[in-house]
Structure formats: C-alpha cells, structure tokens
Amino acid sequence: MRTTQDAIRHLERISVYLEVKGENPFKINAFRKAANILEAAEHDFMDIEDFTEMKGIGKGTAAVLEEFRTTGTSTALSELEQEVPEGLIALLKIPGLGGKKLAKLHDVGVIDADSFAEKLEDGTVEAMPGFGKKTVEKYVKALETFETRPERLPYGVMRKIVSELEQTLTAFEGIIRFAVGGSFRRSEETCKDLDFILSTDQAEVVKGQLLELEQIDEIIAAGETKVSVVLKRDTNYIAVDFRLVDDAAFASTLHHFTGSKDHNVRMRQLAKERGESISEYGVETKDGLFQPQTEDELFARYDLPFIPPELRSGRHEFEQDLSRLITEKNIQADVHMHTTWSDGTLSVEELVDACAARGYSWMAITDHSQYMKFVNGLTIDRLRKQRVEIEAARKKHPDMTILCGVEMDILPDGSLDYEDEFLQEMDYVIASIHSKFDQTETEIMQRLENACRNPYVSLIAHPTGRIIGRREGYAVNVDRLIELAAETGTALEMNANPARFDLTAASLAKAKAAGVKIMINTDTHRPEMLEDMKLGVLHARKAYLEPTDVINTWTAQEARAFFDRKRLGVD
C-alpha cells in the first residue's frame, strides 16, 4: 500500500534531481505542481483512476504516477538517480548555488560537499565562467557551517525575535509603517526566515539603521529596496529580509511577501485573466497602476473576500467558504491546563481567575497523573484533595463550569495510570503518552488504542508527541489513530503550544473528514501560555475546521453530553 504522501515525495524528489541537473525550470515546476495537486486532491492517490483528468497533470507525470503506484518506484527517478550523485542534492541548500551552477560543477567532478571543497581550494571553480573570486569565498564560508545550522526554526523561536524586532523598528527614524510577512505571518509551524515590509520616504536613513542592528552576523544584501541580514540570537542564526517601499506600495508588497508562492501564482493568474498584472508594487491595469491601500482592496478587485494569511496556501482558499471557519471568538473553554498541584505555576484559583478574565464559560483543570513523579503527578488521594480547591473556585465563579479533570498517562505497557473504578469519579479524562518514545509503531498504537477504548478517556492529548525542532515524536500512525477516535467517540487534540502544534493541519483535515471531534488546548503551564489559544485556532483554520468540529466552542452541557455518550456507551 502506497500513500498519497509517498507519491508526493516521489514527485518532489524527481523535481529536485531535475533542478540539480540544471533542467528547464518550468519542467522542474511541473512536477512540483503535480505534487501540490495530489496534496490538495479530494481522493486518496490510490483511488484516482485517471491522473490526466487532474488539471496540471499530463501524460508524462501520469505515467510516472501509474508506474509508482504499481511498482513503488519509477524509471524516471531511477534514471535520474543513476545520473546525479546523491551528495550533489544537499549542496542545493548553499545560498547562491542553484541548479544551473550545480550542473556546471558536476561537469568538473563535484559530487558532494567534500569534492566541492577540493575544487574550491585548487582553483578549479574560480577559473570557470560565471564563477569568480567572491563567489568562491562565499561558498567556502557556507561550507564551514554546512548542515550544522537548522534550515528552519520553530514558530515559537521566531515569535521572540519578531517581537524584539518590532520593538526596535518602532523606535526607528523614517519608517511610516511596517509589518512582518512571510511564513511567520501565515503562522506556519516553522520558518526559514523573516520578512519585514517597511514603508518609508527616507530609504537611505532606514537602511543605515538596519545595517546597525545589534548582533548582525552577516550582511547578505544591501540594495535600495532590500536589506538582507543574518542575525545571531542565542545559538540561533536567523535570516531576516527587510523590504523598503513607498507607502503607496505597502499593501501590495505585504501581500506579495506574505505569499505563499502558490497563493501569489493563483492571484496573478486571476489578474492575467483580466488583462492585468500583479506585482509587489501594485496592479498594472489598462488605466495605469492601481495601488491598493489595504489587502482587502486587492482581494476585492478580484471579487474575493479578505483571505487571512494563515489560509494562503494556494490550495483551497479561493474555493472555500471562509465565513464559516472557527475564530478565536468561538472558543468557550480551555480544557488542558496544569496548576501548581503538578508542574504549573498558577494555583487553581489563579488559573480559574485567568480563564474567567478571558471570557471562557467553562474549563478543565488537568494536572498530571501519578506516573509522572518528576512533575509531581497526582495520586488518587491528591486528586480528591484538589477537588476541595476546585469547589472553592466554583463558589467564587458561579458562572464558570469547572471540570475536575486529569491528564492521565498511558503507561509503557499500554495500561492506564488509574483504574476505571476511580476514573468514573472524574468529570473529564485526557490520556497522553510521556514515556518510552522509542517503542515500535505496533506498541505505540496498542497503547493509544487501549486509551481510545477506555470509556472514561474523552481526549488524546498531543497525539504525536513531537517537539518541533527537537524531537520527532513517537511512531504514531495518525491515520489509524483517526479511525480509532472515530470508532470510539474519542476527541483528538490540536495542541496550541507552538513547540508542539499537533495534530498538523493535514491530519486535522483528515480527522474532520472522518467525523472526529477536535479540542484546541493550550496545555498551559504558565499564565502567558493561555494566549497560545489564538495560534491553535489559526492552525485549526488551516484545516478549515468549523465550530461544530471543535468541542471547546460548544457549551459545557454540549461537551458533557459528548463525553457521556462514550461513558454510557450510547450511540
């Protein structure tokens, strides 16, 4: 059985190999586009009868896909692999080194980083047409840190840098307005770099200040409209592009550099159909240049509603009804939070106060269970004692429904941390894995299945266990977990912590299609983490979730009815 993801990876691999061969960029793009089409397709790749019926996939790609479907590989890729050394592919990551130049380097015997270093040193590269002294110096420097710096940084890391830079820019002289664009504005899980759009009528003044920023490790470019630097913060190297534009072009430029690339392509096609042309400076029309004051104006010109940044993937945002999507206003509760009883920093009372201040109508206290000794997990006895405090908080906040909950560990042997006899005393039970991440998929799935099949378990929290940029998570088969959740009436979590962000948007969409209910939770341990709810909602929107899909947009009564259906075995 081959999955859609396998097919997508296969096509992407072909396009990378073609790139390193220095092939026609449009041919390279055709495979990449086909991969995107498969990803956005309604049907599973194994169920598609005729690939050529999909717009953007022609005879060539269809043949590759057919062959891949039956054999698990394709002649096209095998031939490329024969032709192009594997080690060459990684060199694409070096800035200033693209397919054309790599193909030339391959001709003189470069096959990987080591042979590249040799040819740089012995003068071969510098003597080649199109290469020069400066280029060689740049490559030598890049090779020093080659594959030692992570290519993308987690959103949570970028967030700190962004707010620092925003403060700095606010104090700058000569800036009219500024905003961050790029993958950060689209709230992607990870970002390769940061894009700031600055409007100014004193570009030279602003440029001068930018080049004086603290902790610049490297200046990549310093042109009239673009200043590009690498900043060093702690142990991280962050590439930041600053675009300097006239204020009249601000909205267009912001839209352009918010992307995604595929979104922009679609927008430009729309423009082209009307004989217009969109650039970062505005729209070239029959009556001259139209410069929208806001992004709304730009979208409105093509009869589109404002498309929020997090949806600009270039895949579904032009067809879907965006007005029905979940928003932060729909959220009525946070139902995965820790207090000082285990490893949180807020007391029960403080946490309830904070949730009330956010306007929630219900919530759940869910400290760790007894297995988690190192975070002071709660024994049965302590959970019962905690209820006294929760009871006091209920008196203080009569309008707030507070569920006595627990985040219960699924133990390495697959059993649960408490017996059912005790669990039935709890209002609400989360199950999650915090141990033995190195188990096989079979073992992990057995643990998750046991949890799903327990009538008192209402939610599986952070279902993949990943910490973005630090660890992969355990060997979960998400498709199977979604099946189990659907079958047992168990909800799955969208963990709003930017270090976790699981499930991914793609998995959330699958869960929705399978009828699985989602809970968006902050997993709060410190007060500021309550704010992450908005990030969780943005990710849910990427999967086009609506309030009906998300339990914590419901009332407490509706949610309890959902939990009870599983507890009482009612269908």
Partner DNA sequence: GCCGTTTTCGGCCCGACTGTTTTCAGTCG
Site residues (vs DNA, CB under 7 A): 24, 26-27, 29-31, 34, 52, 55-62, 92, 94-102, 129-136, 138, 182, 192-193, 195, 221-226, 239, 241, 257, 259, 261, 264-265, 268-269, 272, 277-281, 284
- Measured in whole angstroms, the distance separating CA 47 from the mean position of its chain's CA atoms is 27
**To which residue do tokens 């590439």 refer?**
239
Q: 473's torsion region: left (phi>0), alpha (psi -120 to 50) or beta? A: left
Q: Supply 26's token pair.
A: 């449009």
Shortest approach of DNA to residue 284 CB, angstroms? Answer: 7
The smaller minimum CB distance to DNA, of residues 87 and 414, is found at 87
**To which residue do tokens 């309550």 refer?**
530
d(CA 431, CA 341): 18
Q: What sign results for the dihedral spanned by CA atoms 144, 148, 152, 157?
A: negative
Shortest approach of DNA to residue 34 CB, angstroms? Answer: 7
Shortest approach of DNA to residue 155 CB, angstroms? Answer: 17
Shortest approach of DNA to residue 227 CB, angstroms? Answer: 8
Q: 227's torsion region: left (phi>0), alpha (psi -120 to 50) or beta? A: beta
Shortest approach of DNA to residue 236 CB, angstroms? Answer: 16
DSSP class of 379: P
d(CA 278, CA 83): 39
CB 396 within 8 A of CB 352: yes
Shortest approach of DNA to residue 18 CB, angstroms? Answer: 8
The smaller minimum CB distance to DNA, of residues 55 and 286, is found at 55
Shortest approach of DNA to residue 63 CB, angstroms? Answer: 8
Residues 6+ apart with CB under 8 A from 258: 181, 182, 185, 186, 195, 309, 312
The smaller minimum CB distance to DNA, of residues 55 and 373, is found at 55
The smaller minimum CB distance to DNA, of residues 56 and 515, is found at 56
Shortest approach of DNA to residue 549 CB, angstroms? Answer: 33
Does residue 381 sit in helix, strand or coil?
helix
Shortest approach of DNA to residue 24 CB, angstroms? Answer: 5
The smaller minimum CB distance to DNA, of residues 14 and 519, is found at 14
The smaller minimum CB distance to DNA, of residues 259 and 463, is found at 259
The smaller minimum CB distance to DNA, of residues 121 and 441, is found at 121
DSSP class of 547: G
Residues 6+ apart with CB under 8 A from 162: 180, 184, 194
The smaller minimum CB distance to DNA, of residues 224 and 399, is found at 224
**To which residue do tokens 């003189």 refer?**
108
Instruction: Choose among 420, 428, 378, 383: nearest CA to 403.
Output: 428
The smaller minimum CB distance to DNA, of residues 225 and 340, is found at 225
**To which residue do tokens 């000569």 refer?**
174
